[in-house]
A and B are shown apart, each in its own frame.
Chain A
Amino acid sequence: MTEGKKLSLGLAALLIAAAITAGHAGEAELSAEAVKCLQCHEKKGSSFRFQDGDSVPTHVSAAKYRLSVHSALTCSQCHTDFLADAHPSRRFKNKDQYRMRASAVCRGCHTAEQIKAKSIHTNLLLREKEGISSICTDCHEAHSVIPVAGGKIVKSETQYCMSCHQHEMSMTCRNGEKIHLTVGMSISDGNAHDKLRCSDCHYGFSSEEHPKRNFRSRRDYTIASSETCRRCHFDKYTKTLDSVHYTILSQGNLNAPVCNDCHGSHAIPHITRGIKGRTITTQKCRKCHPGVYAVYAKSVHGSALFNEQNQDVPVCIDCHTAHNIDNPLTLEYHEKIPQMCGNCHANPAVVSKYGLSTGVLNAYLSDFHGVTLGLYRKQREQLYKPARPIAVCTDCHGTHNITSAASSDPVAVKANLVKRCQKCHKDANENFPDAWLSHYKPSLTKYPMIFLVNTAYKIFIPLMGLGFLLQIFLHIWRYAVNR
């Protein structure tokens, strides 16, 4: 080997050795004291008991300690009471007391000024001012603490966040309201979002970023948080923009519901399509519409839902939809009502088991009001001509207070009908509602007079038509023969 080659080989070896030592920050040799302590403490099986019966294992992983940022320290630099040969016995009431004491040690090196530099600690420091101690090892681990920037402190992001947010904490809004930031540990078990991480919704937060936000009020916070849902549920979000709830929200009524109000925030359950799910939705609407709920609960639909767990009856969202809720007082909504009721009441699969006729929709649509409704709709769509509201199902049957026609007192029904007819036909009297054939097709038993008139003409007109044609034919024939 030449001189030059020997030199370069030696240099390379030196460089490699330096790299190895430099690369493993802290994988230096442990101090003699640490080695001594680890002789016992590396063994598994022993633990330190507290007065309340709880215990903490005394095992320290040497490998992890070697990798940690504190590996250069000796044990007694933190465990100040202890030396390799001096091991005082101490008594603690519970684990928390022990950990608080331990955390106080960290503050010997890591001053409040240093900690304040990282905004994630802001609330911790605020709580300390109120007298609540922070426990550093909730987040940072004790012996295997590695640089935070590595992001490998905890197994999962949820665990990382929960290490603070499992505790009692809150933030104050500008108007003085407090928002509790405690999240129950079972937030996601078996729930719709249990596969998500905290930052999937709490966008902008991470182990490195924890911006301090200043909300005007709790309601503002809730409304702002609902914007997050848009990221995954864009279709539903855009639907809500068309709803009457969004309209009143954007007009300044902050009580209008947003996503969180109905769906919750952390414990969002899976959508249940069965009877339980249907009943639950009514409870949501009840929060803001208690009067309507009370009326609905007494109606034939509501009482079947709540008392008999009937799946066939409509709940709030069947007529009003869940996300793009239309203003039900508009003409457009009004015109959709017969089809809406018809979805069930003209569907034999739904109503035939209740002894209800499915011909009711067609009976309405082929009569004066139904025909006019269809034409008004076309007029509005094609001629942009405003229409008058015309009687639809709900005008006679009611909306939330629908009662069964069979079980209602006929005199009361009649009296109600006259009042309803008078809304448009101002001088109607008690004879007038009889003009409506109550969805019946005239037959020999029901409204025979009309049935007979129709039948007579059904016979007479074709007969006459045939007669004419015969006469014409004969006339032409004879005329042709004559020529």
Chain B
Amino acid sequence: MGTGKIKMRRFSGYRILEHWGIILTSVVLFATGLCQRFWYVDSAQWFILKMGGVDTVRLIHRYAGIMFSFELILHVAVAIGGVLRGRWGPSMLIKKEDLQDAVHNIRYYFGLEERQARCDRYDYMEKFEYWTILVGGFLMMGTGAVLWLPTVFTRFLPGEVIPAAKALHSNEALLIFLINAIWHIYNAIFSPEAFPLDTTIFTGHISRERMLREHPVELARIEGVEVDELLGNGLNEAGSLKPGVEPGTP
């Protein structure tokens, strides 16, 4: 981020705070949760003993879970409320353009397309991540509640829901952990486009250059022009590259 780069506001202070909150609760939940699932691993046992025993680990996990649930519900409430009040559009909803963008990009990786897909505020990868974690989060909330209060739930549900909840909770947690650890961390840190760190969610700002490359549809909407115009002389009417233009130029 040097001089001469135009910085645009992408996330409000609230979003930055929200993300920090979710980082912290997730780290605590993963640490205290995975050591319970993989209890037979030596380092898990070391961690449990360091924390003061399995009862303490469970306590921390549950209260972090409460925090996580609060954050989740708050997020959904704010999102829906904002849409209803017209403050922002439902930018995370999955549309057919996302599927087209996904296919387009796969073809691009194999060299069958000349440029990357043009995405809106959130590209298909970000939407995928969002939805899996959101739905997964609610699943964790529900199954977590069953595991915390087994006698309450078995008052009106059969006893097998408890081991079923345990299987779901444990497996879903592993899935979310892998999504986060592999996918999200790659995109945010190790991806060549983001390396060393995608700071947007921490500063709230994104450079116009990146906006142009990653979210051109949104940029066009903000600046009130057509996407093609935005992308400049690189394209002809058909949307193909004009002769003499290097591929990869936005």
Shortest Cβ gap from A430 to chain B (Å): 9
Which residues of A, 452-483, contact B by the 8 Å Cβ criterion?
Answer: 453-454, 457, 460-461, 464-465, 468-469, 472, 474-479, 481-482
Known contacts A434-B159, A481-B111; 4 additional CB pairs below 8 A are: A382-B49, A435-B159, A447-B163, A482-B247
Interfacial residues, chain B to chain A (CB-CB below 8 A): 36, 39, 45, 48-49, 52-54, 106, 108-111, 150-152, 154-155, 157-164, 166-168, 171-172, 174-175, 178-179, 182-183, 186, 191-193, 247-248
B182 proximity list for chain A (CB < 8 A): 465, 468-469, 472
User: Which residue of A429, A435, A449 has the most chain B CB atoms within 10 A of its CB atom?
Assistant: A435
Given A372-B54, A378-B49, A479-B192, check contact A435 B150 (CB 8 Å).
yes
Q: List 20 A-B contacts (CB under 8 A).
A: A371-B39, A375-B45, A375-B53, A378-B49, A385-B53, A425-B150, A432-B151, A436-B159, A437-B163, A450-B163, A454-B167, A454-B171, A457-B171, A457-B174, A461-B171, A461-B175, A464-B175, A465-B178, A468-B182, A478-B111
Q: Residue on B with the closest CB to A451?
A: B167
Shortest Cβ gap from A115 to chain B (Å): 76
B155 proximity list for chain A (CB < 8 A): 429, 431
Whether B154 pairs with A428 at a CB distance below 8 angstroms is yes
A477 to B191, CA, bound (A): 11
Q: With an 8 A cutoff between CB atoms, is A379 at the interface?
A: yes
Q: Residue on A with the closest CB to B44?
A: A375
A464 to B175, CA, bound (A): 9
Whether B109 pairs with A475 at a CB distance below 8 angstroms is yes
Interface size class of A (residues with CB under 8 A): 35 or more
Whether B49 pairs with A482 at a CB distance below 8 angstroms is no
A433 proximity list for chain B (CB < 8 A): 159
Q: With an 8 A cutoff between CB atoms, is A383 at the interface?
A: yes
Q: With an 8 A cutoff between CB atoms, is A427 at the interface?
A: yes
Whether A478 pairs with B109 at a CB distance below 8 angstroms is yes
Shortest Cβ gap from A438 to chain B (Å): 11
A482 to B111, CA, bound (A): 10
B52 proximity list for chain A (CB < 8 A): 383, 385
**Choice from A425, A449, A454, A461 contacting B160 with Cβ under 8 Å:** A449
Whether A375 pairs with B171 at a CB distance below 8 angstroms is no
Q: With an 8 A cutoff between CB atoms, is A376 at the interface?
A: yes
B183 proximity list for chain A (CB < 8 A): 468
Given A375-B54, A433-B159, A450-B160, check contact A460 B108 (CB 8 Å).
no
Given A450-B160, A450-B167, check contact A474 B109 (CB 8 Å).
yes
Whether B160 pairs with A434 at a CB distance below 8 angstroms is yes
Shortest Cβ gap from B97 to chain A (Å): 19
Given A427-B151, A429-B155, check contact A378 B45 (CB 8 Å).
yes
B160 proximity list for chain A (CB < 8 A): 434-435, 447, 449-450
